[in-house]
Chains A and B, each alone.
Chain A
Amino acid sequence: MIDPETCYKIEAYNTQVVRKMNKQIIKQAFWKSLPVMAGYIVLGIGFGILLQKAGYGVLWAFAMSTFIYAGSMQYVGVELISGGASILTTAFTTFMVNARHLFYSISMIDRYKDAGKYKPYMIFALTDETYSLLCDGHAPAEGDPNQYRFFVSLFNQCYWVTGSVLGSLLGAVLPFSTAGIEFSMTALFIASFTEQWLTSHDHIPALTGLLGTLICLVIFGSENFLIPAMFLITLILTILRRREEKAI
């Protein structure tokens, strides 16, 4: 029989361990999110500047980055808002630009299955970059992997909102030329692609994505290739299913 004093001590110790573990998880989530920080703050600033120039100040930037939270769509959104687009055009454009998110969600169904209270926000915050950080499935060996993923998602949105607000406030007063800084986004995807290539022994899916998209870009042009590319990739991977399921 344990006396109440010891019981209390054990409980306090356990609470301490849990707190320490939570802190550890948050710390690891922060490190994981770092590659996105630079890209999101910079691209967020770009978006903020653009929106400011279109006549919509810091509150608009904050609202869009908080509630829409989709990078390339928000850039397109600036044009829609300032051009006075109709609701229907806006809805359809959003659908086309963001249709790829259907795919991100599909591939995360199993992984996010037991995320519980974290799940709604994690689904809401599943951007290109968050997806590219979390799709490899790595999580710290100890602690709740969903808490880890939740914080990676949250940190990323914080960078994005911070960048947008900064851009809106700073405007064009930056003391140096930032031309070319948009390449950070491209670099992120190329680095993720390389990393996946190095960790996986089956390169068919990666090559299908790369070449299928390239073919569609050549055929359909840079404005309209994304939707056909997604169809083509899905089609090829469906045809290769039997072969691939042996390879995985």
Chain B
Amino acid sequence: MKPAILIAVMAAVTMLLRFLPFLIFRKQTPPYITYLGKVLPSAIIGMLVIYCLKDVNLTTHPHGLPELIAAACVVGLQVWKRNTLLSILAGTAVYMILVQFAF
């Protein structure tokens, strides 16, 4: 019974966070919020990049090298081909090869 309740709590809180802004600013969106809506997307993507890399340890072996090389591949491919799926698949493959065989 307990796990089901905990899952319900997680679902309810997550839903609350997703719906709350839509409920609060239902009638009219203040200009400040509209402004945030314009600038936040690229800022949050930047935040998520760091969030994904938060556990990379630069002081011990392999000093974040697999992440750095794979990330460079993703950026390079994206600039070159502009194909998101290709960049992701290639970058992930490079990373898997690096952590399994190179480091």
Contacts and interface: CB of A to CB of B under 8 A. Distances in A.
Contacts of B39: 204-205, 208, 237, 244, 248
Q: Secondary structure at chain B's binding surface: helix, strand, loop or mixed? A: helix
A241 B35 contact: yes
Interface stretch (A15-23, A56-64, A159-167): A56-64
A109 B100 contact: no
B85 A124 contact: no
Q: Secondary structure at chain A's binding surface: helix, strand, loop or mixed? A: helix
Point out which of A177, A190, A192, A193 has the most chain B C-beta atoms below 10 A from its C-beta.
Answer: A190
Contact of A90 (B10, B35, B66, B88): B10
A94 B13 contact: yes
Interface string A34-61: 1100110000000000000000100010
Contacts of B9: 87, 90-91, 94
Interface string A62-96: 01100111100110010011001101001100110
Interface string B8-50: 1111011101111110010001001111111111111111111
Given A87-B6, A205-B39, A105 B13 contact: no
A56 to B, nearest CB: 7
Interface of B: 2-3, 5-11, 13-15, 17-22, 25, 29, 32-55, 66-67, 70-71, 74-75, 78-79, 82, 84-85, 87-89, 91-92, 95-96, 98-100
